[in-house]
Amino acid sequence: MTGFLTLLHKEILRFWKVAVQTVGAPILTAILYLLVFSQALAEHVPVFPGVSYGAFLIPGLVMMSMLQNAFANPSSSLIQSKVTGNVVFILLPPLSYFELFAAYVLASVARGLLVGLGVFLATVWFAPPSFVAPGWALVFAILGCAILGTMGLIAGICAEKFDQIAAFQSFLIMPATFLAGVFYSIKTLPPFWLVVSHFNPFFYMVDGFRYGFFGQSDVPPTTSLAVALVTLAVVSGVAMQLLRTGFRIRH
Asked if pLDDT for residue 223 goes beyond 80, the answer is yes
Mean pLDDT value across residues 204-220: 94
- pLDDT surpasses 70 at 11: yes
SS3 227: helix
pLDDT in tens, 131-175: 899 999 999 999 999 999 999 999 999 999 899 999 999 999 999
CA distances from 100 to 43, 69, 155, 236 (A): 48, 19, 15, 12
The CB density around residue 64, as the number of other CB atoms within 10 Å, is 27
Query: Which stretches within the chain are classed as H helix?
Result: 2-16, 19, 25-41, 53-84, 88-91, 97-123, 134-158, 162-168, 174-178, 191-197, 201-214, 221-245
Residue 251: the pLDDT is 65
Instruction: Find the farthest-apart pair of alpha carbons in the chain and give their distance in angstroms, rounded.
Output: 58
- Residues 227 and 224: their CA atoms lie apart, in Å, by 5
pLDDT digit string (tens) for 201-211? 999 999 999 99
Q: What pTM, to 2 d.p., does this model score?
A: 0.94
For 221, phi then psi, to 5°, come to -65, -30
C-alpha–C-alpha distance, residues 93 and 120, integer Å: 39
Per-residue pLDDT tens over the stretch 41-69: 666 677 788 888 888 899 999 999 999 99
Distances (CA, A) of 238 to 101, 213, 241: 11, 32, 5
